[in-house]
């Protein structure tokens, strides 16, 4: 059986949750299935940080083309090659393809439907058109959480529930560990100009949906009443879009550190060095960063919306979303509270074990081939 996979997103310089997903599923497909042939297509050069092993039954195919790659060069290749199965890990589907090819599309989230003002207009048009087409025309869908599945059923009336399977993301057990040596931690502190003491951290892209300004509001309120004293807030992540006001506030507060783009291999140490990880996001399809933080034994505080409560369960602190005062209260509850931090660290580590990339890849293969 020939299974074609669009992996062009692994060519991008910016690494986000969807690219981590594709990378880690490809790390496992070849281990789980040695019989079928995997045709892995991309456009230019893979991001060197997004490495995955190449197995004997993997064929990596680079198809260069200057514009609308998925709908032009890749679509033509699918029409010509006629694979048995086509898996699209990113919200899209070639308009032209062989009728004999079974198609499966992963839907990560529908944030652009729920928060259209948080996306550039050109991206919004593209996301709406191609997601609408993929949802209505794919043979099967993968939703990365029950929250995303429920959003699909609400936004697309008439969509059959049996067409959707929920398959959770995972975390890289080899990469994320609670134990980071002091020598390694010193190197990370020097590299990203981190404080010697434990800090508050957010990790992810800088874009409006992540609601970073609510975290800055809460932190600055704690600064004003002396609750955080010399403690610092670390914003770790690459620039996404519509980030200008957030960056302005970061630069105006000397107690806020922006790491900029970080290397994936450094993320476990960044998280391990923190007293608490905060995700104030307005919406997450899954929320890989909270899982990675829990896997590092770092207590998690997150907005109680979309998938976050589903993934964290009772293993972190959830606060009422869109409310910097509630976030401030949650931070007051955990900062300096060693007993609570220890409890949440232990519970988070146990919870993380429920989400492994091998499990995600196995369930994905089952759904592709069923």
- Whole-prediction pTM value? 0.93
Q: Is the pLDDT of residue 177 over 80?
A: no
CA distance 50 to 155: 33
Beta strand pairing call for 85-88 and 102-107: parallel
Radius of gyration, CA atoms only, the chain: 21
Mean pLDDT, the chain, as a whole number?
94
Mean pLDDT of 320-335: 91
| 3-state SS class at 166 | strand
Model confidence at 123, in pLDDT bands (50, 70, 90)? Answer: confident
Mean pLDDT of 80-97: 95
CA distance 278 to 327: 9
Q: Which is nearest to 21 in space by CA: 126, 207, 172, 149?
A: 172
Tell me: the pLDDT tens digits for 142-158? 999 999 999 999 999 99
Task: Please tell me the least confidently modeled range out of 155-159, 171-175, 282-286.
Answer: 171-175
Q: Indicate the length of the chain as a whole number.
A: 370
Residues 6+ apart with CB under 8 A from 76: 96
Q: How many CA atoms lie within 13 A of 292 on its CB side?
A: 28
Tell me: the pLDDT tens digits for 261-276? 999 899 999 999 999 9
Q: In this predicted structure, what is the pLDDT of residue 179?
A: 77
Model confidence at 174, in pLDDT bands (50, 70, 90)? Answer: confident
Residues 6+ apart with CB under 8 A from 351: 294, 312, 313, 315
Q: Which is nearest to 196 in space by CA: 176, 181, 182?
A: 182
Q: In this predicted structure, what is the pLDDT of residue 178?
A: 66
């Amino acid at each position: 059986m020939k299974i074609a996979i669009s992996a062009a997103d692994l060519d991008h310089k910016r690494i986000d949750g969807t690219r981590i997903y594709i990378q880690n599923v490809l790390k496992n497909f070849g281990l789980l299935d040695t019989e079928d042939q995997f045709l892995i297509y991309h456009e230019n050069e893979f991001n060197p940080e997004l490495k995955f092993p190449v197995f004997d039954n993997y064929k990596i195919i680079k198809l260069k083309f200057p514009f609308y790659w998925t709908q032009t060069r890749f679509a033509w290749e699918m029409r010509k090659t006629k694979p048995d199965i086509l898996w699209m890990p990113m919200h899209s589907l070639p308009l032209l393809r062989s009728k004999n090819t079974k198609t499966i599309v992963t839907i990560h989230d529908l944030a652009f439907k729920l928060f259209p003002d948080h996306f550039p207009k050109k991206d919004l048009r593209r996301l709406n058109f191609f997601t609408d087409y993929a949802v209505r025309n794919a043979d099967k869908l993968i939703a990365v959480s029950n929250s995303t599945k429920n959003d699909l059923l609400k936004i697309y009336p008439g969509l059959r529930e049996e067409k959707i399977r929920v398959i959770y993301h995972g975390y890289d057990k080899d990469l994320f560990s609670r134990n980071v040596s002091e020598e390694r931690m010193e190197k990370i502190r020097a590299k990203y100009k981190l404080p010697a003491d434990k800090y508050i951290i957010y990790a992810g892209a800088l874009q409006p949906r992540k609601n970073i300004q609510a975290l800055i509001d809460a932190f600055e309120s704690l600064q004003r009443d002396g609750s955080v004293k010399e403690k610092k807030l670390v914003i770790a992540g690459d620039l996404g879009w519509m980030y200008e006001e957030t960056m302005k506030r970061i630069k105006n507060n000397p107690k806020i550190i922006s790491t900029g783009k970080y290397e994936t291999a450094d993320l476990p140490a960044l998280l391990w060095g923190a007293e608490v990880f905060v995700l104030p996001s307005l919406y997450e399809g899954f929320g890989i960063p909270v899982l990675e933080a829990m896997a590092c034994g770092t207590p998690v505080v997150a907005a109680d919306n979309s998938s976050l409560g589903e993934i964290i369960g009772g293993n972190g602190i959830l606060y009422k979303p869109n409310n910097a005062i509630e976030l401030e209260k949650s931070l007051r509850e955990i900062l300096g509270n060693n007993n609570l931090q220890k409890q949440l660290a232990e519970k988070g580590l146990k919870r993380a074990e429920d989400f492994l990339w091998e499990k995600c890849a196995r369930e994905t293969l089952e759904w592709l081939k069923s």
